[in-house]
Amino acid sequence: MKNTARILHRRGKVELYYYKGKGIYIPTNVTTKQYNEDPQMKMFVDNMFNNMSNVITNYFLENKKEFPTADYVKNKIDVIKNKTDNITSLFEIYLKSKIKVTPETLINIKYYGNFLKRYDEINNIDINKIDDEFITLLSKFIYKTGLSDNVHHCVLVYIKSFITFCIKEKHFPDKNIDWELHKVEVTQNSYEVLTKTELDFLRDKRLTEKNKVFKKILDMFLFCSYSSLRYCDLVRVNLEYLKDDNNRIEMKSKKTKVMLYPSLNENNYSLNLYTITYYDKTLKRMLKKYSNEMESFKKIVKVKKTVEGKETFTDKYRYDCFSSHSGRRSFCTIQLDMGTSPLKIRGYTGHKSDAQLYTYGQRKPESEKDNKITDLLL
């Protein structure tokens, strides 16, 4: 195509170039390294270049073999990027509808939505073909990014909410997607939870840790480990939930809508919290550092993954298996191991049945039956 090019900067991002009277540079937000090494990113840039070429070609054919001006091409490209009949623009509409959610939830929606946007950039999603085949291909794409089964599951949950919204608002047709077919099995492994010895170790590290980031991560993780709260409930804790002279929280679970009554001391609620993605990432990094002192953290374990219905196993260090939910799971597991009544534990956690609670009690540590965890203070 005459007067067009892909400009690959030595240390920077790829731009598309067109010249007619004056030159324009259209950014792609793809680095030169990504373009040269990542086939998907190369495909994305090439698709953008083809869109620009089509704009020029159509104008050339419709206007007696005259080439369009640079401003005309730029405006047309902007129209293509900002059309309201594409996934990216619909996702922005979806975000604006979430005005009542917490800032943390909004951050998670944006983070998980980025996987859908990236898939759209590479494959140009047809919104009239959002069906089971589309979800299958999208799920494979998400899996190839290397996410854990837990995060993969979360991405699909948020995308399901977005698609349900779009169908309800009649942005695209209802193809009766069978979401059960695309459910990612979330494996709850015993090595994701602490033993009481490990919990005591982390409690002691909180008193000596110099790193301010690790201190805050320990505050959050220990809070959940001692109170049984989920991360989504932890971020909602404030003074109005405190009862009995600050010794107990009384609040409704965001996930299950049941009342929770965890015990705590007067210092547990004063937290300046990190986002869940940063929290998970830094928690692993912190435990990796501590594995030099607590060797059980660097034990190699086999992690099960389910890919297209087939179970596979991969070796991972145990410190890489912990997540934002591990504190709650540690609370339940240690309490069960110590012989605390399931009914009493459920009063703290909000589980509706013993069967639900027992999913946390897979590990039976060696004779750690001394104190109840709720008798300990941070």
Q: pLDDT tens across 272-281, in order?
A: 567 777 888 8
Please give the residue that has the higher pLDDT: either 42 or 202: 202
Find the mean pLDDT for residues 75-80.
74
Question: What CA–CA distance (Å, rounded) separates 244 from 30?
Answer: 56
Query: Could you tell me the two tokens for 2?
Result: 């005459």
DSSP string, 256-291: T--EE--B--TTTT---PPPHHHHHHHHHHHHHHHT
Please give the residue that has the higher pLDDT: either 246 or 23: 23
Report the predicted TM-score, pTM, of the whole model to 2 decimal places: 0.52
> Do 17 and 7 meet the contact criterion of CB atoms below 8 Å apart?
yes
List of domains in the chain = 4-81 (no CATH), 87-182 (1.10.150), 190-375 (1.10.443.10)
Q: pLDDT tens across 142-179, in order?
A: 887 766 676 788 888 889 989 998 888 888 888 889 98
Find the mean pLDDT for residues 258-281.
60
Fill in the DSSP letter of residue 258: -
Distances in Å between the alpha carbon of 362 and those of 110, 224, 302, 350, 378?
34, 19, 15, 19, 25
> Do 157 and 149 meet the contact criterion of CB atoms below 8 Å apart?
no
